[in-house]
Amino acid sequence: MKQFMIGQYGHFDSNKFEKDFRNDFHGIEACLFTTHEDCLNLMSAARDRKFQIGVHYPFRAHPSRLRDAPFLSSDETIREEAFQHVQEELDYLTTVQPEYVLFHYPKPVILDDRVNWDQWRFTDPSEYVMESNYTFDELVERSEALFKWLTEKSKQYHFVPVLEFDALNKYIYETDYLEKLLEQYPTIKLCLDTGRLFIQEKIDPYFDALKIIRKYAKYAHSIHLWNVQVKDGIRNNRYPVLPHLSPEEGWAPIEAYLTIIREENSDVRIMFEHNSSLVSEEQLEQCYTWVDHILNKQADPRFHS
């Protein structure tokens, strides 16, 4: 379980930390902390329990800003502000010394015009643009500028830049430009989110989550792992992954996802981005044990009927 991580969002929650964290876990991913005291508490726990800190941008909550950095905006002023805001955050994080800093990609999200996106959650219309209004060449050009900038900052501030997939369109799943960039700028890694991938497959008839995982898992630094049920709508968001949650009942095929990930990139970090309050402590332990057995190919009769 040395590759496992938990999340802390909004503040450092000592109760969640004691319930969810295990001494052999790799670390904690932090996001949207509201006070400097929370930062100090996280750093103190990391020193005492000897774990790594990862950051999901932004580390500090800014009520006047959108959460994600619109690095790829068509508006040059908005792009420049995004880079400046990230620069300010990296300066602040010098005391935290995170192992990695994660950003959503692409932002704004490029949405396939053929798909009904009503069930995809956005907090603001500026978070997305329709594919018909954003060309492939624009994406490639701005992505390369982003990769170059993040590579330079990673050397300066000593962190791994991680790009977490948001909703994806054919520019990413039908071309190889992103693979070429990841090969050209190997410092930059990806994050695959199991819940997002599953939901997109359910609402987008052109999208295949298993193919995306097979294509990009080798470039992943971390997996955001959680389950969700899509059956007459989206239910049970951020549910911990458990062996009895059947795809036949509308749950994501987590074992199939993790099997591909094991084959392509067995050392990837697993960040449990679930709501652990939805299950008992016994079920939470079962979640951790089940995932560990899948990733390490260990047969366990408890997980087979």
Q: Is 41 helix (H, G, I), strand (E, B) or coil?
A: helix
Considering the entire predicted model, what is its pTM? 0.96
Q: Is 232 helix (H, G, I), strand (E, B) or coil?
A: coil
**Interval 7-16 mean pLDDT:** 96
**Interval 154-168 mean pLDDT:** 98
| pLDDT for residue 1 | 81
% of the chain residues with pLDDT over 90: 93
Start-end of H helices in the chain: 14-20, 36-49, 76-92, 136-157, 170-173, 177-184, 194-203, 209-216, 254-265, 281-295
**Segment 259-267 long-range contacts (CB within 8 Å, at least 24 positions apart):** 259/294, 260/210, 260/213, 260/214, 260/217, 261/192, 261/213, 261/217, 261/220, 261/223, 261/295, 262/294, 262/295, 262/297, 264/213, 264/214, 264/217, 264/218, 265/217, 265/218, 265/219, 265/220, 266/295, 267/3
Please work out, in degrees rounded to the nearest 5, the angle formed at the alpha carbon of residue 61 by the alpha carbons of 64 and 82: 65
| pLDDT for residue 64 | 66
Q: Residues 272, 7: contact at Cβ < 8 Å?
A: yes
Domain ranges of the chain: 4-303
Q: What is the mean pLDDT of the chain?
A: 95
Q: How, if at all, do strands 227-230 and 234-239 pair?
A: antiparallel
Residue 176 to residues 79, 167, 212, 274, Cα–Cα distance (Å): 24, 17, 12, 31
| pLDDT for residue 255 | 98
Residue type for position 7? G
For residue 176, the tally of other CB atoms under 10 A from its CB is 10
Spell out the CATH class of 4-303.
Answer: alpha beta
> Residue 253: CB partners within 8 Å, gap ≥ 6?
198, 210, 247
Residue 274 to residues 192, 237, 243, 278, Cα–Cα distance (Å): 14, 8, 15, 9
Q: Measure the CA–CA gap between 121 and 305, rounded to whole angstroms.
A: 36
Nearest Cα residue to 162 out of 138, 136, 182: 182
DSSP 241: P
Q: Is 10 helix (H, G, I), strand (E, B) or coil?
A: coil
Q: Measure the CA–CA gap between 120 and 99, rounded to whole angstroms.
A: 30
**Interval 152-181 mean pLDDT:** 98
Residue 117 pLDDT > 50, yes or no? yes
Tokens of 298: 């260990």
Q: Measure the CA–CA gap between 104 and 27, rounded to whole angstroms.
A: 20
pLDDT tens figures, 212-237: 999 999 999 999 999 999 998 999 99
Identify the band that residue 65 occupies on the pLDDT scale cut at 50, 70 and 90.
confident
